[in-house]
Structures are given as C-alpha cells and as structure tokens.
Structure 1
C-alpha cells in the first residue's frame, strides 16, 4: 500500500482500535496484580486451592503478550528506529516518572519512620531515582511501612519495566537488521527464542523460575501473532480448538504448567482483545489507567495496610483497587495521555521523491 493509502487507512484503524477489548484486558490484569500482592502485603495465607502467585504471573504475561502484539504492529506501520524509540519512551517513561515521584515525595515521606532528611538522602532512596533511567534499580526503601508484614517494600512491580524495555530493544534491533522485512525469517528467529526458553529456561524442566526469559517469550509470541494477524483473525477459533486439548494434557496430565500456559495463553488473550463492542469503545474514551494502576497499586496497598490495618482482606483489597484505579486515571489524563499526544511530532515525513511526484508538472 502506498504512503497515501496508509494515511487514509489510519483513521479507520484507529476507530477499530477504540472498539477492541485490549484496554479492558490490561485493566483486569493490573487489578489481578493487586489481588495477587494483597496476600503477602496483608500477611494473609491464600486458600489451599488458590495459587495466588500464578494469578499475578498470568497478569504480567498478559501485559507482555499484548505489548508484543501491539508493538509489532506499531513497527510494521512505521518501521523507523527514531520514531519507534520515541513512541516507546513516551509510553514507558511518563508513567514511571509519576510512580517514582509518588514513591519518593508522597508515600516515602508520609510512611517512613526516618526523619525526612534522612529518608531523602539515604543511599536506597537515592538508588530509587535510577528507576527513571528504566534500568533494574528497585530496592526496598528505608523505614517505610515499618509496621506492615512486608516492611520496607515500596513498589515491587517496577522490576518488570526494564524487561519490557529490553523486549522493545530486541524488536527494534530485529527491525533495523532487516529481519522483520521477511516474515519467514522473523518467524524462525521468534520460534528459535521460544524453543530456547522451553528447553533451557523453562521452570517445568529446570525447576527454577526465570522470569527474565519467560516473560519475553510471551512478548515474542504476541509479536508472532501480529506477523500473521489476518490469518490469525480468520482462523483463531479453530486454532484455539486445536491448542486447548493439547494445553490441557500438558497442564493436568504431564504437570507442565508453564509450557501449557505459553502454548495457549497468548492466542487466547489476543483473540479476546480483538473482540469489538460499544462497551469497549466507551471504556477507551475514558482513557487507559492500566499502567498507572500497575505502577501505583503496590504503594497504595501498603499505605492502606499501614493506615487501616484493622480492615479485613476483602475490604482492604477493594479499597486499594479503587484508589489505584483513581490514581491510574489521574496519571493517564494528567501525564501519560498528554505525553502520548507528542507522538504526532515523531511521524516520519513523506519521502522526498513522493513529494516531487506530487508537484504540478512533475
């Protein structure tokens, strides 16, 4: 399709995106992280039938799968490194800025047992600022939430953001190297990584959780689905009908839980996310609070536990979810959304040859 054709198609694609369910899936995943974390934060033992850590893990897998799918589509629409890198930073950094400022200037000063000056100048507090570089810099913070079951914990989910950035960088490197211009080559590289994870870094076989390899495998799977988007949309139901019994055998009969999850979860999520409806369109108009919920949920939970330790598990969790949702929407409308509107300044200008052809007499 010509550049002009892509420009004409963009509004229609944007309208379709506003009617899909990806926003809802991300919000549910962010709230699922809060649910999973609320057991250790309140010192509550999960019921024997519930693997609460798995709930949180599946939520993060959801983020990485959807991210892989949408980010691959973004590269395909505009395969230019400068544009791609700018868009990714505008998506990650503003929300991180909100989270770090909230940790350092709100939750920390209010809930630390140290004098304010000592808290702000403590080496662990200074280290926390390095999260703004989107590197792995998360540490417990001095004196915060000292009376809580997880004393010192400020913002656990921050550790996954550098991993997300790493996935973006790998996809951009593949694009710059020309791998993404060839669907067979891109498929081979993606399947090679997934195979590497399944054989050498899979907890089902090694007995050790290796999230820094597992979550990127979900990102890669989502990216591969994007490469075959049209075929996937056309045959998703039949594909899921084939994969579901295989995943069930792996999960229940062979106890290969991580293998079964990687096989089935990404296509289920992308198929669910591609569903369209007026409800999803209305939700889209409200904004996307999921990133803010994810990054602010943990300190809000800790603050709720510290302020109202007498609350039961369910009331405290619902209060934390409600406050985190409000904070997520505030972060979106005040910081993240306005920052993303800057993406229009990153768009690649039309090629000079195309401009010449459009001039009268050319």
Structure 2
C-alpha cells in the first residue's frame, strides 16, 4: 500500500496497465459472449492472451520485489493471500448469490443446491477453477459459462508458491543462482513448451514464463532501469524479425513484452497520481467482467456489439472499484500490521 502520495505527486503506471489489461480481457471475451465474429485482421484471443501476460509480468516483478524487501515466508504468504482471496470471495459470492439466481433457468433453490453450484464455492480454495454453473445464461452464445477468467488464479497462486519456496531455500539471497534459475525456466519454456515449436498452447507453462521474466527484471531492477532503453532498442528489431520473419509469435512476445511492460509500468506521470489514489479496481474488473458481460448479453441480446462492450466495461469498472473500496483495500490494510511486526534486523535489511 505504501505511504499515501501527496497531491500532484507523480506515480507509476502499473495501475493503469492493469486496468487496461482487465478491459482488454473483457474486449477479447466479448466476441465469444455476443457471438460476434471479429474482423479478419484482428486476433481477438491474442488480445486477451497479451492482457494476461501483462498481469503475470507485473505480478512477477512486484511480488519478487516484495520478497526482497521482506523475506519472511509467513508474512509473504499472508500478503499474497490478502491480495488474491478477498477479490475471489467477492467474485464467488456474486457468481453464486447474484448472477446465478438472476440468470439461471433452474428454480433458485435447485440452482443453489446443484452439485455444479456447490463446486463453484471451491474456487475460494484458489486451487482449481470451476467456471461453469448450471443452466445460467441459457440463451447466450456461451451458455453455462459464469466466470471464465477464474482459471488463471490457481496459476497465479502456483507462481507465488514457487517464488516463496525459492526464497525459503535461500535461492533469492544468491542473486546469481536466482538469476540462472529464472533463465533456465525461460529457456525450458522456449525450447520445450513453446507453441511456436510444439503447435500447442500450454498456458500453464507460458504465463509462468512471463512471471519468471518479471522476477528476473526485479532481481536486477537497478541495472534494468539504467539500461532499459538500450535493451528495448535491441529487443524490438529482434522481436519483429521473429514475429514477422520467422513466424515465432510466442517467442517474440516473451522477449519483447515482459521488459516493455515493466519499463512502461515504472514510468512516472502526474496523472497517474490521481488514478492511483482512486484505488486499484483491476482485479475486480478482471474477476467480475465475464459475468457482467454475460448478464448484459442476456438482458439485451439485440444490443449491438459497439454498445454492449462499453456498457460491460463501464459496469465492470464500477464493480471493480466497489470491490476494491469495500473489500480488497480494507483487507490489504492488514499488511500494515504485518509490517509493524517486522523484526528490527529485517527492517534494517
């Protein structure tokens, strides 16, 4: 959370990037939700993929910095749960108690006691995603789908767990070992699990690669800030060659997107101060955008795509801010209690 910024103070761009990524996920899914064919030139699913890559890159960068600032395993785990679980609670309660009863074809009592509905509660364990619910949005093109983005949250938790385990084992104290561990995973992904080579999308390997790249940059934050422009100047033509020349789209994306996202996120701009003080609704937008878009489609099935998309984004943004101010931010204030209990030796590290 940090110290509140004074009026007029510059802030970084990470909040804006996360909000844009959450809106991009809604945009990507909206073609499927409304049954609209995207223009031939637009790879709409790639837009959503890049958005999730953005989330994982930023997460890898910021969460690694969090461990480096305070390398206590219990506190690290508590902070990560405080970030993930309250927003998930809001999403699951909204799915089961609001959108489900309003948009299921079943009687409400039957819906609430249906095995699929009871399974949906298990999303609160953050270990397995249950995205469909019984006979919801029955007349929509994506009938039965309640909340598609939930499946990425267990993957995020897995990345946190791996990072925490590396910290407990002392790997993050040895910067060289941590660096080569990240590089080793990136090379493993690029050569063994890369869709450019295998022909199969394997998100459970790809998105963690962006997390690992974000972690790698965090491990060398000072050097990255000094040389980021030169690095991007070298990465851009290489990525263009790989993307357009060799048709290695996923390889090009990883090499360029991760450093570009961190570089953009660490820029400081005066307007970002106001946005940052307003809160961070991105997680709520991401988790609530799908059921809201499904509800818009179910309520106004004849609404044109150009109208239903901005309406869905607007409603999701309002819901995201409500989730932030009413649930997520109050939960995150508990981080202050954890920080105050920091031992003197750690505080001086």
TM beyond 0.5: yes
- Which of 187, 191, 199 in structure 1 is aligned with 2:191? 199
- Confirm or deny: 8 A CA contact 2:10 2:271 kept in the other structure: no
Whichever of the two has the greater Rg, that structure is 1
Distance 1:354 1:246 in 2: 42
Does the 8 Å CA contact 1:18/1:284 hold for their aligned counterparts?
Answer: no
What is the CA RMSD across the aligned residues, in angstroms?
1.9
In 2, the alpha carbon distance for the partners of 1:329 and 1:34 equals 16
Partner of 1:328: 320
Contact 1:69–1:219 (Cα < 8 Å) also in 2: yes
**Counterpart Cα distance in 2 of 1:352 and 1:107:** 48
| Superposed counterparts of 1:44-123, under 5 Å | 44-123=36-115
- What is the distance in 2 between the residues matched to 1:14 and 1:188? 40
Counterpart among 19, 29, 37 of residue 21 in structure 2: 29
Alignment counterpart, residue 171 of structure 1, candidates 136, 157, 163: 163
The 1-side partners of 2:12 and 2:220 are apart by 18
Provide the C-alpha distance between the structure 1 equivalents of 2:160 and 2:345, rounded to a whole number of angstroms. Answer: 31
Q: How far 1:139 moved relative to its partner? A: 3.8
Offset at residue 352 of structure 1 (A)? 6.9
Q: Deviations over 1:72-126 (max 9, x none)?
A: 0000110000110000000000000000000000000000000011101111100
Cα deviation 1:12-67 (Å, max 9, x = unaligned): 99999970000000000000000000000000011110000000000000000000
Q: Which of 222, 232, 237 is equivalent to 1:230?
A: 222
- CA contact 1:83–1:348 (8 Å) conserved in 2: no
Deviation for aligned residue 1:11: 5.0
Contact 2:11/2:269 (8 A) holds in 1: yes
Say if 1:12 and 1:323 are closer, same or farther in 2 by CA, change over 3 A: closer
The verdict on how the C-alpha distance between 1:263 and 1:354 changes in structure 2, with shifts beyond 3 A counting, is: closer
Give the conservation status (yes or no) of the 8 Å contact 1:23–1:284: yes
Structure 2 residue matching 1:178: 3-state secondary structure: coil
Match of 1:274 among 260, 263, 266: 266
Preserved contact between residue 61 and residue 215 of structure 1 (Cα < 8 Å): yes
Secondary structure (helix, strand or coil) at the match of 2:172 reads helix
- Contact 1:289/1:331 (8 A) holds in 2: yes
Given the alignment, which residue of 258, 275, 279 partners 1:283?
A: 275
Q: How high is the TM-score relative to the length of structure 2?
A: 0.96
Counterparts of 1:350 and 1:210, CA distance in 2: 39
Superposition pairs of residues 306-345 of structure 1, within 5 angstroms: 306-345=298-337
Where in structure 1 are there 5+ consecutive unaligned residues? Answer: 1-9, 356-362
Deviates most, 157-166 or 16-25: 16-25
Give a deviation string over 1:299-347, Cα, whole Å, max 9, x none. Answer: 0000000001111001000000000000000000000000000111222
The separation in 2 between residues aligned to 1:234 and 1:17, in whole angstroms, is: 22
- What is the distance in 2 between the residues matched to 1:147 and 1:343? 44
CA distance in 2, matches of 1:259, 1:12: 39
Output the CA distance in 2 between the equivalents of 1:301 and 1:354: 46
TM-score normalised per structure 1: 0.92
Correspondence for 1:4: none
1:297 maps to what in 2? 289
- Alpha-carbon distance in structure 2 between the residues aligned to 1:354 and 1:305: 52
Match of 2:175 in 1: 183
| Aligned equivalents of 1:181, 1:195: Cα separation in 2 | 22
